[in-house]
Amino acid sequence: MTFKELKIIDPILKALDEKGYENPTPIQEQAIIPVLSNNDLLGLAQTGTGKTAAFAIPIIQQLYQNKIVGKKREIKALILTPTRELAIQIDECFNDYAKYTGLHHTVIFGGVNQKPQVEKLKHGVDILIATPGRLLDLISQKYITLNHIRHFVLDEADRMLDMGFIHDIKRLLPLLPKQKQTLFFSATMPEMISKLSKTILHNPVKVEVTPVSSVVDTIEQGLFFVEKPQKSELLVHILGKEKEKTVLVFSRTKHGADKIARILNKKGIGCEAIHGNKSQNARQRALTNFKSGKTRVIIATDIAARGIDIANLGLVINYDLPDVAETYVHRIGRTGRAGQSGAALTFCSSEEYTIIKDIQKLTGKKLNTVSVSI
């Protein structure tokens, strides 16, 4: 199937062509036509499946086709996403796909001065990408009204729940007009999320791509039993062997991420840590360095790493195990994207063993134990 067959209009086709996208991904094939027909959508999909374009393209197209010339610009589409990194990435997608449509968009998120964001809003935007806290903040300061929203996207709903945003969302929902299109995306469907989706969607079209197990299928997974004090030594050993690969190391805590970075730097392994205690600028800089290949190793907490979109990520290392099995799948899904092979290594101490069982149950795969002599 081609984008043309999905009835995408020329200004968007031109932009997609420039991006080098030849064909739609499976979620785009399934979602674009129903969304263009103004249906609500329930999308079960992870980052890496092309889901951003799956909602961005049909929203841009609908706004372009219903453009009212000469009227003051009001926010007509709202994309709500849990993290600043995701918000920035989504905004970049709108930059790309909407460039020939004359539509205006902007992104707002917390942790930075609100002034530049408010200035952009004052110029008038059609599409707003936002994290929940800053959005509520700017609404209460009367810089934003949601009265004209026609398209609402709730992105990464399960992650919103994990991050404690559910109350913010419940405060936001009544501020949206009743008559609107809602697109709801989540990688997993815990009970709370399923309930929430039922309360806000009307006869949604359901699309589901790459279920957890098939994502995991393309990734080579290894498990090391190693006690905490020996983990850093093992990490240094592996990084010494995997010299060619770009590596994302997951730490459970911010403090832990900094500690790992210090140890690696001492050993002469160039790396950077990203987590919520670092300024937005420092995080962006670290990501840019990593993407450009300047640094080969990045150490991240789950929240900071959420949505990091890096092509050719060679290896994911779970230095610590996450608290829930779903997070493991999110983490290792950062490698092995778009059909490329990927690898994920997990360091498990005796305290962490119980979660391994949950992971194996969720993925339906036994993790192979690797032994190593350092």
Residues forming contacts to ligand AMP in the complex (CB under 6 A) are 21, 24-25, 28, 47-53, 309
Q: How far is CA 224 from CA 273, 328, 367, in A?
A: 23, 15, 10
Whole-number minimum distance, CB 233 to ligand AMP, in Å?
A: 35
User: Shortest approach of ligand AMP to residue 46 CB, angstroms?
Assistant: 7
**Element (DSSP H or E) covering residue 343:** strand 342-348
Assign residue 221 a region: left if phi > 0, alpha if psi is -120 to 50, beta otherwise? beta
Number of Cβ within 10 Å of residue 325's Cβ equals: 20
Three-class SS of residue 345?
Answer: strand
With respect to ligand AMP, which residue has the nearer C-beta, 93 or 136?
Answer: 93
Which residue number has the CB closest to ligand AMP?
Answer: 52
Q: Shortest distance, CB of residue 57 to ligand AMP, whole angstroms?
A: 9
CB 47, min distance to ligand AMP, A? 4
Closer Cβ to ligand AMP, 52 or 83, answer by number: 52
> Of 47 and 181, which has the nearer Cβ to ligand AMP?
47
Question: 25 or 295, CB closer to ligand AMP?
Answer: 25
Residues with Cβ within 8 Å of 331's Cβ and at least 6 positions away in sequence, in order, are 250, 302, 305, 316, 318, 322, 344
CB nearer to ligand AMP: pick between 52 and 318: 52
Q: In what order do the strands lie in the sheet with 368-369?
A: 271-274, 297-300, 247-250, 315-318, 342-348, 219-225, 368-369
Would you put residue 293 in left (φ > 0), alpha (ψ -120 to 50) or beta? Answer: left
Fill in the DSSP letter of residue 72: P
Q: How far is the CB of 2 from ligand AMP (least distance, A)?
A: 10
Q: Which residues are CB-neighbours of 323 under 8 A, at least 6 positions away? A: 252, 355
In the complex with ligand AMP, the residue whose CB is nearer, 81 or 363, is 81
Choose between 231 and 283: whose C-beta lies nearer to ligand AMP: 283
Residue 309 Cβ vs ligand AMP, minimum distance, rounded to whole Å: 5
Q: Taking the complex as a whole, how short is the minimal distance between the CB of residue 280 and ligand AMP, in angstroms?
A: 20
Between CA 162 and CA 302 the distance in angstroms is 11
Q: CA-CA distances (angstroms) from residue 205 to 62, 78, 202, 268, 367?
A: 17, 19, 9, 52, 35
- Closest to ligand AMP by CB, 48 vs 132, is 48
* CA separation for the pair 167, 86 (Å, rounded): 20
Give, for 206, the enclosing helix (H) or strand (E): strand 205-208
Strands (E), 40-189: 41-44, 77-80, 105-108, 127-130, 151-154, 181-186
Residue (187 or 271) nearer to ligand AMP, CB = 187
Beta carbon nearer to ligand AMP, 47 or 182: 47
Contacts of 354 (CB under 8 A, 6+ apart): none
Q: How far is the CB of 96 from ligand AMP (least distance, A)?
A: 8
In whole angstroms, give the CA distance from residue 169 to residue 344: 34
Question: How near is the Cβ of 20 to ligand AMP at its closest, in Å?
Answer: 7
Query: Rounded to the nearest whole angstrom, what is the least distance from the CB of residue 210 to ligand AMP in the complex?
Result: 10
